Amino acid sequence: MSGSKINVAKQAIEYIKNNLHPEMILGIGTGSTVNFFIEELKEYKHKFAGAVSSSEASSKLLNENGIEVFNLNDVIDIAYYIDGADEVSPQNYLIKGGVVVVVVVVVVVVVVVVAVVCGVVVVVVGVLIVGLVKLLWQF
């Protein structure tokens, strides 16, 4: 399984690497696939400002790889958010850790999201919905 996760991490890097710039902040999720992504990302750390992280574990790995971690409250814009998902529900919701995440609209901001779903890079270009996030436990 780790071979496919490494491959997906490399594909995600391929997708974003030519768009990185010195002021850019990336959003970094948590999990084994993201860990492989961070390992790949360190080769490009000189091309972007740093990242915000969804966990202490990812923050630690980012720091260990020389990537600055910013506090989310200090960041205005996140160009890409990279995270993994364990599966996709029949309704096409991404499921991470057995939780279906549904986002409810409050504020709309243009963004690109790169997600890793079942070993495949999924790129969603459109809107990031900032606001109430509902977590629906999968039974």
**pLDDT for 22-61, tens place per residue?**
999 999 988 888 899 999 999 999 999 999 998 899 999 9
What is the predicted pLDDT for the residue at 104? 38
Bridge-partner residues for 53, per DSSP? 28
What is the predicted pLDDT for the residue at 124? 44
Burial class (CB in 10 A: 0-12, 13-18, 19+), 6: middle
| Low-confidence spans in the chain with pLDDT less than 50 | 100-112, 117-139
What is the predicted pLDDT for the residue at 38? 95
What is the predicted pLDDT for the residue at 114? 53
What is the predicted pLDDT for the residue at 134? 41
